[in-house]
Amino acid sequence: MSVEFEAKKSVITPEGVFIIGTYDENGVPNAMNAAWGGQSDYSEITLFLGKHKTTENIEKTGAFTVAFGTVDTLRISDYFGVETGSKVNKIERAGCHVHKSAHVNAPIIEEYPLTLECKCRKWDPETGILVGEIVSMQADESILTDGKVDQGKLKPIIFDAANLTYRAVGDVVGKAFGDGMALK
Ligand SMILES: Cc1cc2nc3c(=O)[nH]c(=O)nc-3n(C[C@H](O)[C@H](O)[C@H](O)COP(=O)(O)O)c2cc1C
């Protein structure tokens, strides 16, 4: 028997822990946590945002980075979602180190091992839809195996909106474009 929930309580899982890095007009770095979003084309990410210091920054610089929250960066990742850069320098408060991306006018937060560098392709304050063209990606050597990002080493986290918790991504359980082939 199924239990019905009101639409607002519906669960879309998994949701990511995307850490959006931006600079303001004075080059002060900021970071925010966003769960709503994902890959929308090759080399493209789409995020769904309210109005934040982050979106003000993107309106000025036309660029942002997206790092992936991990088990090792969980605490700072959550902090980036519960404080606004309008009031506090969150990067300093979190004890993070940044350098400017070589490709876009946005900060790379060095504590995160995997970061996308994005040019703003579209930002619509009415719908809150932010589309980024991924122009490059930086991955720390420590999370690579045979030159590929190894999720087991990255240890990404996902956001569980039903329980307001973060969960670690688990084991490999199958082969994509593979395990279904037997039924084709
Ligand atoms: C787990 C989590 C997920 C969040 N997801 C989103 C999101 O998808 N979109 C959004 O606009 N805000 C989201 N937020 C809220 C922003 O991160 C928060 O308002 C933050 O303070 C904005 O930072 P800023 O003002 O420095 O830009 C989320 C917060 C948390 C803790």
Phi-psi region of 23 (alpha: psi -120 to 50; beta: other; left: phi over 0): beta
Integer CA distances (angstroms), 129 to 3, 55, 71, 120, 122, in order: 32, 10, 28, 11, 8
Please state whether the predicted TM-score (pTM) of the whole model is above 0.95.
yes
Residue nearest to atom 31 of ligand 1 (CA): 81
Q: Which amino acid is at 157?
A: I
What single DSSP character describes residue 155? Answer: -
Q: Indicate the pLDDT class of residue 73, thresholds 50, 70 and 90.
A: very high
Share of the chain above pLDDT 70, in %: 100
The finding on whether 159 has its CB within 6 A of some atom of ligand 1 is yes
Distance 174 CA to ligand 1 centre (A): 32
Residue 68 tokens read as 């992936």
Residue 8 tokens read as 């607002």
The finding on whether 14 has its CB within 6 A of some atom of ligand 1 is no
The pLDDT tens digits of the residues spanning 1-10 come to 999 999 998 8
Per the listing, tokens 């610089």 go with 61
| Burial classification of residue 62, based on how many CB atoms lie within 10 Å of its CB (0-12 exposed, 13-18 middle, 19 or more buried) | middle
Q: Indicate the pLDDT class of residue 42, thresholds 50, 70 and 90.
A: very high
Mean pLDDT of 167-179: 97
Q: Indicate the pLDDT class of residue 120, thresholds 50, 70 and 90.
A: very high
State which ligand 1 atom lies nearest to the alpha carbon of 128.
11
Distance 32 CA to ligand 1 centre (A): 6
Q: Indicate the pLDDT class of residue 13, thresholds 50, 70 and 90.
A: confident
Q: How far apart are CA 137 and CA 10, in angstroms?
A: 33
Mean pLDDT of 121-126: 98
Q: How far apart are CA 71 and CA 77, in angstroms?
A: 10
The finding on whether 77 has its CB within 6 A of some atom of ligand 1 is no
State which ligand 1 atom lies nearest to the alpha carbon of 164.
1
All domains of the chain in start order, with CATH? 14-183 (2.30.110.10)
Residue 91 near residue 109 (C-beta atoms within 8 A): yes
Buried b (16+ CB within 10 A) or exposed e, 102-111: ebbbbbbbeb
The finding on whether 52 has its CB within 6 A of some atom of ligand 1 is yes
Q: Which pLDDT does position 80 carry in this prediction?
A: 99
Which residue among 20, 47, 52, 96 has the greatest number of ligand 1 atoms within 8 angstroms of its CB, and so is best to mutate? 52
Residue nearest to atom 30 of ligand 1 (CA): 81
Three-class SS of residue 108?
Answer: strand
Integer CA distances (angstroms), 39 to 16, 26, 69, 82, 156, in order: 11, 30, 16, 24, 16
